[in-house]
């Protein structure tokens, strides 16, 4: 039977892939038997820069690990340094970080939904998703000064404050965004063509997902209620988060989780704005970090871990970033086994791959 097997290279250049990843697809007839991923096209060695930049400056570099979850990277890094130095940041800074984190989840999920629609050839839905995303980016630009790379976090707090009047304006504008999102997600969840191409495709069983270390929407689409936000870092402890899960285990379930998380995030932002405390936005930081710390956060794509080790100087000894895509990669291998060749592109997208993030 082995004579019928063919190896088809997929990527690193492919219309659905914005970033380079290569897959060797072992194909028998029209079905994928095995997929072997290979990465390494965009490895920048960013982590090794940590012993050449002061920890306070490295925040800006940590933010550039990824262009989509940039804010979460900087806040996780700051959280790590603050953990090393035992700094308690002001409550308002905590809430602002949480709010921007949720806005970045909205923007990331809308980006993914758009790209996903585009990968299925649904252009108008793609434009629609990105149109909504634009209003989220405007909020970012108006509050932090940056559309995609916000640069609003620093060790000891945040760089910019948002006035309370502006916050209530954001609250109102978010209602309109929600209405638009409602209309858009209706298409994602009930369109005949989309369903045809997603339901029952790319099955990832809950046991497999757990054992392979899947995180974020990939794990939650398989019914695992895994969400770092439930550990109550930042202001999530006060606000309260209940993970969104679906039990479909297929591509449609992962899409559904992301659609539902849009409204969860919007809901969280409403709560944060209402509960926003007054006060300072940053504390003064003195001294240098020493010791080691594992800092965890929930990114739009799943759990991110920053491991920091200080040596008592202003340069950290080591930083190691474990991004969600890296740990979702083994799940992708399982998902692709048994899939039809024509379904491979959108199944790769259902894990929301971020290669730049994965290789640092």
Partner 1 sequence: MTMEIISVSLADIAKAAVDMMTRGWRLVVITCTAVTEEYDITYSFAKDNDLRHYRMTVPEGELIPSIGAFYGGAFVYENEIHDLYGFTFTGMTIDFGGTFIRAAVPYPFRKKEAPAPKITKVTSDGGKRANQKPADAAKEDVL
Partner 2 sequence: MYRLYGEMRAMKMLKTILKQLSNKPVTTTFPAEPARYFDATRGHIVFDPSKCTSCTICVKRCPSQAITVDRVAKLWTIDRFRCVICNQCVELCSFDAVSLGTAYSASVTADERGTETFEITYVRPKKPKKEHGNEE
Q: Would you call 282 helix, strand, or coil by DSSP?
A: strand
- The H or E element that residue 258 is part of is helix 251-275
Identify residues 49-88 at the interface with partner 1 (CB under 8 A). Answer: 51-52
Contact between residue 341 and residue 33 where contact means Cβ atoms under 8 Å apart: no
**CA–CA distance, 201 with 182 (Å, rounded to integer):** 25
Cis peptide before 44 (omega within 30 of 0): no
Identify residues 178-217 at the interface with partner 1 (CB under 8 A). Answer: 208, 210-214
Contact between residue 111 and residue 159 where contact means Cβ atoms under 8 Å apart: no
Q: Which does 145 bind (CB under 5 to 8 A by kind): partner 1, partner 2, none?
A: partner 2
Exposed/middle/buried for 240, CB within 10 Å: 0-12, 13-18, 19+? exposed
Parallel/antiparallel/unpaired status of strands 157-158 and 5-10: unpaired
Q: Which of 40, 121, 145, 312 binds partner 1 (CB under 8 A)?
A: 40
Beta bridge partners of 302: 299
Beta bridge partners of 10: 23
Q: Which of 16, 330, 337, 345 binds partner 1 (CB under 8 A)?
A: 330
Q: Which stretch binds partner 2 (CB under 8 A): 81-89, 143-151, 242-250, 319-327?
A: 143-151
Q: Which is nearer to partner 2, 138 or 247 (CB)?
A: 138
Q: Which of 112, 147, 149 is nearest to 129 (CA)?
A: 112
| Secondary structure E strands in 1-69 | 5-10, 22-28, 31-38
Q: Which does 179 bind (CB under 5 to 8 A by kind): partner 2, partner 1, none?
A: none
Q: Which stretch binds partner 1 (CB under 8 A): 47-55, 131-139, 251-259, 274-282?
A: 47-55
Beta bridge partners of 8: 25
Q: Which is nearer to partner 2, 4 or 192 (CB)?
A: 192
Provide, rounded to whole angstroms, the least separation between the CB of residue 341 and partner 2: 30
Q: Which does 64 bind (CB under 5 to 8 A by kind): partner 2, partner 1, none?
A: partner 2
The sign of the CA dihedral 205, 209, 212, 218 is positive
Q: Which of 70, 79, 143, 346 binds partner 2 (CB under 8 A)?
A: 143
- Window 43-72: contact mask with partner 2 (x via CB under 8 A): ----------xx-xxx-xx--x--------
Q: Which does 31 bind (CB under 5 to 8 A by kind): partner 1, partner 2, none?
A: none
Rg (CA), the chain: 21
**CA–CA distance, 353 with 301 (Å, rounded to integer):** 8
Contact between residue 255 and residue 197 where contact means Cβ atoms under 8 Å apart: no
Q: Would you call 67 helix, strand, or coil by DSSP?
A: coil
Based on the shown chain and the rule CB under 8 A, indicate whether residue 231 belongs to the binding site for partner 1.
yes
Contact between residue 282 and residue 78 where contact means Cβ atoms under 8 Å apart: no
Provide, rounded to whole angstroms, the least separation between the CB of residue 215 and partner 1: 9
Q: Which stretch binds partner 1 (CB under 8 A): 44-52, 64-72, 169-177, 349-357?
A: 44-52
Q: Which does 39 bind (CB under 5 to 8 A by kind): partner 2, partner 1, none?
A: partner 1
Based on the shown chain and the rule CB under 8 A, indicate whether residue 315 belongs to the binding site for partner 2.
no
Q: Which is nearer to partner 1, 133 or 322 (CB)?
A: 322
Based on the shown chain and the rule CB under 8 A, indicate whether residue 159 belongs to the binding site for partner 2.
yes
Q: Which of 327, 335, 336, 346 binds partner 1 (CB under 8 A)?
A: 327
Identify residues 192-231 at the interface with partner 2 (CB under 8 A). Answer: none
Based on the shown chain and the rule CB under 8 A, indicate whether residue 149 belongs to the binding site for partner 2.
yes
Beta bridge partners of 330: none
Q: Would you call 249 helix, strand, or coil by DSSP?
A: coil
- Window 97-136: contact mask with partner 2 (x via CB under 8 A): ----------------------------------x--x--
Q: Which residues bind partner 2 (CB under 8 A)?
A: 53-54, 56-58, 60-61, 64, 131, 134, 138, 141-146, 149, 151, 159-160
């Amino acid at each position: 039977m082995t004579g019928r097997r063919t190896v088809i290279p997929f990527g690193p250049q492919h219309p659905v892939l914005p970033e380079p990843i290569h897959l060797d697809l072992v194909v028998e007839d029209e079905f994928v038997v095995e997929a072997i991923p290979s990465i390494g096209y965009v490895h920048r060695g960013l982590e090794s820069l940590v012993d050449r930049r002061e920890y306070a400056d490295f925040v800006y570099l940590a933010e550039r690990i990824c262009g989509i979850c940039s804010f979460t990277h900087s806040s996780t890094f700051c959280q790590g340094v603050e953990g090393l130095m035992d700094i308690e940041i002001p409550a308002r800074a905590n809430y602002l970080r949480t709010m921007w984190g949720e806005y970045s989840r909205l923007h990331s999920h809308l980006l993914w939904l758009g790209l996903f629609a585009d990968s299925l050839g649904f252009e108008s839905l793609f434009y629609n998703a990105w149109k909504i995303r634009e209003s989220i980016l405007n909020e970012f630009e108006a509050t932090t000064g940056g559309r995609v790379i916000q640069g609003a976090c620093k060790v000891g707090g945040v760089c910019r404050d948002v006035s309370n009047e502006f916050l209530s304006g954001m609250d109102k504008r978010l209602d309109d965004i929600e209405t638009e999102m409602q209309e858009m997600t209706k298409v994602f969840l009930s369109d005949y063509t989309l369903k045809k191409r997603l339901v029952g495709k790319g099955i990832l069983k809950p046991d497999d997902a757990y054992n392979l270390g899947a995180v974020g929407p990939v794990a939650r689409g398989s019914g695992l209620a895994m969400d770092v936000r439930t550990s109550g870092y930042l202001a999530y402890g006060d606000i309260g988060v209940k993970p969104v899960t679906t039990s479909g285990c297929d591509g449609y379930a992962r899409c559904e989780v992301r659609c539902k998380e849009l409204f969860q995030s919007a809901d969280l932002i409403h709560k944060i704005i209402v509960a926003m405390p007054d006060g300072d936005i940053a504390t003064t930081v003195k001294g240098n970090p020493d010791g080691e710390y594992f800092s965890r956060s929930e990114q739009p794509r799943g759990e991110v871990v920053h491991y920091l080790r200080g040596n008592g100087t202003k340069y950290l000894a080591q930083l190691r970033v474990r991004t969600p895509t890296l740990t979702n990669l083994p799940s992708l291998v399982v998902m692709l086994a048994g899939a039809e060749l024509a379904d491979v592109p959108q199944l790769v997208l259902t894990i929301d791959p971020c290669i730049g993030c994965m290789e640092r």
